[in-house]
A and B are shown apart, each in its own frame.
Chain A
């Protein structure tokens, strides 16, 4: 590993960030494929509470993969582990304590958002998107943001991703528990989709957070970041609904969840690409100064 110095903000110094994200996408797809292939064999063995616990374990996997690779970095100056892990937990707690109650109990979104397509999109952005992205932002902003451990622009993305994965983990657990255990094959696809999507949107929030800390950005900068992430969040869920729906034909209607995973992986890769490009450009601009 190249030795990174404290002063360097060059993206090479944080190449592992991109590598972690890429590994997350790749290993999630591989993992989903493996579980899906095994689900027919495993499902008969898992009944009742065991199935629920299996689902809960599955829900933890995305965060585990990412954190595992993150912690196994051999780096001269690693981010303090407790901070990244703490933010992950904070993301969990905010989702469970604020996000879900607000969206499900106060807004009762699922009762009315499917009224028509436009409503689905708008509710996805205005209620679900903003709530979730604000909470991910808050998890970083009101904890580690002002500390010395947030000393590079890329740190924003690392911490926000941790918060995003925390949020996704809670959503996936709630998905498992409220359904009393889920079919492993179909369930793992949905969990991978949720994890990829939330990590991606969080990445955007994180980029804006990093820039906000180290550059003097205008007042609309951070609102813009959260808004972009919220819009992507709502649009993604709406798009996923459109993509997986096949309509009823003579062979029945089998929604195709794999298309949702393809979409999520695509969104995650594009988001990552754009963020890498932005970070490189930012670094380039800085070097020219």
Chain B
């Protein structure tokens, strides 16, 4: 290239750059403003303004560490709040102490009210309602104690986050054994649902109540009156340490807020139920569960271990020895004669039998036991048997296909139970293949397909929010639906995508039926497909992503 041409070339580059500015009409791209969560003013000044022993900065920290918890329920693909409670952050990584009836009603036998998700509201300003910022998962729960430890796992939008980066305000755990009658307690919580700001109540420790089988210090009684939503909240001593959880709704009884709890087997039927006479924990005085009782839950939640309640629904039944245990699960390959060959950590695709061996002890010959097999978390098989073996030794459990076909790929889990109404004695999981669909399964019929996925702009690959995703009644085509002016009556199920373009159709689709699935949003062509059939080979959760174009 000759020099003068090079100059020309450079000149043109400059002009083009100017033209860029001209053409874009000054509409420079706007940098998204990142808003940082308000720093918790945990050490905001050393105010001398004290209130019954708590300094202002201590109170500010306690307020910042008190969270509002919403139990969310799925409705038409939306997560809608169902009930509200309170909780206390006990570690900067987002470990929260609350009531079991707030975190997991199922742990108290109320499986119907088990929420689909827990939302955590953080107080950013004491004069404003808590801001829902996170979703949490139950890490350890004790239905009997009505205590639970939950962990923040993602932002409210479902984006996962690193708990070590959370750096939340938290409350130190006090020693509830050092609480004495007449001590001052401060209670923080959210008494009402929606739009309410954090509320402070104070009072004194008026006494203790014993409860079988917890012991003498099962309840701390207080003269502070606490209303419903405070459940799970924070009761603090004057050192700004949590000494207990205000606990109101009684385990066993329904949603009634009561000051009377079933704490003893008064009718002597061996079970602690609402048939038992409740023991008042005192007039208008409410109960605080001492925080020391929660220490085992906190420990197992921090260690990532499963927590097993030592209070097995009251008095343990004596039908079985209660000493059964199983351990040391190991998966094996088998040869054609059914003999174990090699131990494995996972199976290749194409096996038709998987075997788990385990060591057991404490069994009684002739006692009942059962197993449940899961594939990708979905119940696959349940069986009840009579124990034929010795009291201890090694045994095995297996899952095979009845027709010799291959087991579908996925993660298999087996749980072993004995008939004492307790949780699983043990469980083990193993992967077959790389997960996902494949092979012809022999799994029980009747489980439908749940559709989920992402809707995006095919020209930009950006997710599309608020897209109407529909499944029509089997047999109705998109064209027929359109010709009839889109009646809802022809829609089997529908939902709208969230801000990240994700959707999940709440109603399961029946396998073998012919469905029409599509998506619609203004300014884009409708996308639809008729004659979609899901077979038994398809997984229970079926991902269907749809790109839409203009």
Task: Give A residues with C-beta under 8 Å from B.
Answer: 48-49, 52-53, 56, 60, 63-64, 67-68, 71-72, 81, 85, 88-89, 92-93, 96, 110-111, 114, 166, 169-170, 173, 175, 177, 179-183, 185-187, 189-190, 241, 244-245, 247-250, 252-255, 257
Contacts and interface: CB of A to CB of B under 8 A. Distances in A.
A247 B529 contact: yes
Which of B15, B24, B457, B525 has most A Cβ within 10 Å?
A: B24
Interface string B1-44: 00001001100100110011011110101111000000000000
Contacts of B548: 253, 255
B459 A190 contact: yes
Contacts of B527: 245, 247-248, 253
Interface stretch (B226-234, B257-265, B539-547): B539-547
Given A68-B9, A183-B461, A114 B523 contact: yes
Contact of B9 (A71, A241, A244): A71
Interface in B203-255: none
A179 to B, nearest CB: 5
A248 B530 CA distance: 8
A93 B459 CA distance: 25
Nearest to A60: B20
A142 B110 CA distance: 79
Contacts of A187: 459-460
B22 A92 contact: yes
A172 to B, nearest CB: 10
Given A68-B12, A93-B22, A177-B27, A249 B529 contact: yes
Given A89-B22, A110-B550, A173-B24, A248 B459 contact: no
A182 B457 CA distance: 10
13 contacts: A68-B12, A89-B22, A92-B22, A177-B24, A183-B461, A185-B461, A189-B459, A245-B525, A247-B529, A248-B517, A250-B544, A255-B547, A255-B549
A175 to B, nearest CB: 8
Contacts of A81: 12
Contact of B547 (A85, A179, A254): A254
Contacts of A183: 460-462
B522 interface: yes
A92 B19 CA distance: 9
Given A85-B15, A183-B461, A248-B528, A48 B31 contact: yes
A247 B528 contact: yes
Given A183-B461, A183-B462, A255-B458, A56 B20 contact: yes
B453 interface: yes
B474 to A, nearest CB: 15
A244 B458 contact: yes
Contact of B19 (A72, A88, A111): A88
A49 B32 CA distance: 8
B436 interface: no
B547 A96 contact: no
Given A53-B29, A255-B547, 17 more contacts: A60-B20, A68-B9, A85-B12, A89-B23, A92-B22, A92-B23, A96-B23, A110-B522, A114-B525, A114-B526, A189-B459, A245-B549, A247-B529, A248-B518, A249-B529, A254-B547, A255-B458
A166 B19 CA distance: 10
Contacts of B547: 252-255
Contacts of B549: 241, 244-245, 255, 257
Given A111-B523, A241-B549, A245-B525, A254 B458 contact: yes
A248 B529 contact: yes
Interface centre among B9, B25, B457 (most CB of A within 10 A): B25
Contacts of B460: 179, 182-183, 186-187, 190
Contacts of A185: 461
Interface residues of B, number: 45
Interface in B505-537: 517-519, 522-529, 532, 534
A-B CB proximity, top 7 nearest? A248-B529, A52-B29, A183-B461, A255-B458, A92-B23, A182-B460, A252-B545
B462 A173 contact: no
B22 A257 contact: no
B5 A72 contact: yes
Contacts of A64: 16
Contacts of B12: 67-68, 71, 81, 85
A77 B23 CA distance: 29
A70 to B, nearest CB: 10
Interface in B132-158: none
B522 to A, nearest CB: 7
Contact of B23 (A114, A170, A186): A170
A104 to B, nearest CB: 11
A75 B9 CA distance: 15
A89 B12 CA distance: 13
Nearest to A179: B460
A252 B462 CA distance: 16
A85 B17 CA distance: 12
A76 B127 CA distance: 78
Contacts of A63: 16
B32 A182 contact: no
Contacts of B20: 56, 60
Contacts of B525: 114, 241, 245
Contacts of A49: 29-31
B416 to A, nearest CB: 37
Contact of B16 (A60, A245, A254): A60
B459 to A, nearest CB: 5
A254 B545 contact: yes
A85 to B, nearest CB: 7
A64 B19 CA distance: 11
Contact of A253 (B24, B31, B546): B546
